[in-house]
Amino acid sequence: MTQLASDILGTLRATMKGPVIGPNDPGYDEARKVWNAAIDRKPAAIARCQSADDVSAAVMGAVEHGLEIAVRGGGHSMGGASVVDDGLVIDLSMLNEVSVDPEAKRARVGGGALLGDVDKAAQAYGLATTTGMVSHTGVGGLTLGGGMGWLTRQAGLSIDNVLSAEVVTADGRILRADANENPELYWAIRGGGGNFGVVTEFEFRLHEVGPLVQYGMLFWGLDQGPDALRLARDVIPTLPREINVVIAALNAPPAPFVPEQYHFQPGYALVVVGFGSNAQHEVALTRLREKVPPLFEHVTPLPYLALQQMLDQANAWGSHCYDKAVYLEEFTDDAIEVITEYVPRKTSPLSVMLVYRLDEAYSEVGEDETAFSGGRSPRYNVFVVGVCPTAEALVAEHDWVREFWEALHPRGLGVGIYVNALIDADEDRVRVSYGAAKYDRLASIKRTYDPGNVFHRNANIKPA
């Protein structure tokens, strides 16, 4: 390990402009940390790339020395794909520039930018694109697998808004991928994850959003869960695309707007965000509260940037985490029975279930227009997330997540899993997630751009 680290450090320092950090360098332990504290790995080297040329040099250096590569954007990979023992971490955090063309409604985004970087730059012009709900997440990892968030119903997935990308492939080439240039690579990176290279820049389509949106949270107790979830089932699919609702099972926060008697109480919430008129938002809230009155609610105008940062603290760096996901076509009575049985069994008050509604703009994109690992028919994506302050506490919560998922999965669509939520998936699970035809096409493209499977720390697609 010592000689190997010395060799790769020497190679990279001779060929890169950005800093290269080794095990004996100051700041190494900080540089190898990732968001999920359950992941603790020690790479041979960390290459902090300043350009696509640096990324190319890092890839070729790792291949030359036979080192496994992990690509790090925001470091948020739940399963730890962004760091590797005894290998090379290609750290893109210095490639975080975001430039916005407000007239064309386009943004060029460095592959190491965080969601908050994009949100802030675009909101300066009253614009946004679909990103996730935690602003310190990396753009690259989220986008390459699909990318879901508050704007999905009206603007589609993150990949539906990618117009082009700059990609460094396994042989060190720096390629542009769009509808006309390397179109198969362009298709593959929109949903195929990090299998085909390192994306050093994205070009996104932007949409008019904010600066203020309408926010509402309605909260019900555990005993109200079945009625609240049935109400959500009946109302949410009928709402206009300017309204997005996330269904959550969580513990009420000790916030000023929460009556003290409900602080930390477990229950169910509907978070209702309106991007249209105030009246439209109020109609949605009325429909969601009138039949099953919530224990409390909080309704207020909110800056879009604040909405995007709302979950940051609850998902702060340093927690021990594990998650799984499943697609549901409907909130059937069977699914609701499973959810209301398992939600009270969690042992950590930090753990949550989050449910995204996927329809409208999401469903207007053809099944085969992108490599996305899920059908485009209307559905829900259910995330069960175990979050604990210590490694010891995660043991029980890990079991809770798995048991919850195993009970809910048979009620699902049976079309696999959103690849951004696949942890340690084998080839069969990845194939099922994409479907045989899409997987085979991806495998063929993988053979063209990464025949040696250099980029395999992901929901891996093996070269055909």
**Predicted local distance difference test score (pLDDT) of residue 412:** 84
180 shares a domain with 46: no
Average the pLDDT over 389-404 and give the result.
Answer: 94
195 shares a domain with 218: no
Residues 6+ apart with CB under 8 A from 8: 44, 45, 61, 62, 65, 67, 88
**Predicted local distance difference test score (pLDDT) of residue 5:** 63
250 shares a domain with 131: no
In a domain, 35, yes or no: yes
226 shares a domain with 367: yes
Lowest average pLDDT, out of 3-7, 38-42, 134-138, 294-298, goes to 3-7
174 shares a domain with 60: no
In a domain, 464, yes or no: no
Checking if the pLDDT of 287 tops 70, the result is yes
pLDDT in tens, 407-451: 999 998 766 678 888 877 778 889 988 989 999 999 999 999 999
Average the pLDDT over 370-379 and give the result.
Answer: 92
pLDDT class of 3 with cuts at 50, 70, 90: low
Give the count of beta carbons closer than 10 Å to the beta carbon of residue 10: 14
Distance CA 268, CA 246 (A): 11
> What CATH number is attached to the domain comprising 299?
3.40.462.20
Q: Are 285 and 216 in contact (CB under 8 A)?
A: yes
In a domain, 430, yes or no: no
**Predicted local distance difference test score (pLDDT) of residue 387:** 95
CA atoms within 13 A of residue 169's CA, in its CB half-sphere = 19
pLDDT in tens, 319-352: 999 999 999 999 999 999 999 999 999 999 999 9
In a domain, 36, yes or no: yes
SS3 177: strand
The runs of H, that is alpha helices, within 105-224 are 115-123, 139-145, 152-155, 183-189
pLDDT in tens, 24-48: 999 999 999 999 999 999 999 999 9
> What CATH number is attached to the domain comprising 48?
3.30.43.10
**Predicted local distance difference test score (pLDDT) of residue 4:** 59
198 shares a domain with 229: no
User: Any idea which residue has 């925001």 for tokens?
Assistant: 74
User: Any idea which residue has 């990732």 for tokens?
Assistant: 34
Lowest average pLDDT, out of 6-10, 24-28, 158-162, goes to 6-10
Instruction: Tell which of 47, 73, 91 closes a domain.
Output: 91
312 shares a domain with 358: yes
In a domain, 20, yes or no: yes
pLDDT class of 375 with cuts at 50, 70, 90: confident
pLDDT in tens, 93-133: 999 999 999 999 999 999 999 999 999 999 999 999 999 99
The better pLDDT of the pair 2, 220 is held by 220
CA distances from 399 to 222, 340, 411, 430 (A): 21, 17, 19, 22
User: Any idea which residue has 């063929």 for tokens?
Assistant: 444
Instruction: Tell which of 63, 91, 119 closes a domain.
Output: 91
β-sheet bridge partners, residue 412: none
Instruction: Tell which of 45, 60, 91 closes a domain.
Output: 91
199 shares a domain with 68: no
Kindly report the average pLDDT of the chain as a whole number: 94
Residues 6+ apart with CB under 8 A from 256: none
In a domain, 459, yes or no: no
115 shares a domain with 74: no
**Predicted local distance difference test score (pLDDT) of residue 416:** 67
**Predicted local distance difference test score (pLDDT) of residue 421:** 84
Question: Taking CA 275 as the corner, what is the angle to CA 273 and CA 277, rounded to the nearest 5 degrees?
Answer: 105
The better pLDDT of the pair 3, 111 is held by 111
Question: Taking CA 370 as the corner, what is the angle to CA 417 and CA 357, rounded to the nearest 5 degrees?
Answer: 50
Checking if the pLDDT of 1 tops 70, the result is no
What pTM, to 2 d.p., does this model score? Answer: 0.94
Checking if the pLDDT of 301 tops 60, the result is yes
242 shares a domain with 187: no
Distance CA 190, CA 258 (A): 40
> What CATH number is attached to the domain comprising 184?
3.30.465.10
Lowest average pLDDT, out of 292-296, 401-405, 434-438, 440-444, goes to 434-438
β-sheet bridge partners, residue 243: 274
Q: In which domain, by residue range, is 38 found?
A: 2-91
Average the pLDDT over 186-209 and give the result.
Answer: 97
In a domain, 243, yes or no: yes
320 shares a domain with 354: yes
Checking if the pLDDT of 60 tops 60, the result is yes
Q: Are 418 and 405 in contact (CB under 8 A)?
A: no
378 shares a domain with 239: yes
Which of 323, 331, 337, 423 is closest to 383 using CA atoms? 323
β-sheet bridge partners, residue 5: none
Average the pLDDT over 374-384 and give the result.
Answer: 93
| Domains in the chain, number | 3
How large is the greatest C-alpha to C-alpha distance in the chain, in angstroms?
Answer: 69
Checking if the pLDDT of 224 tops 90, the result is yes
- Looking at the chain, how many residues does it have? 464
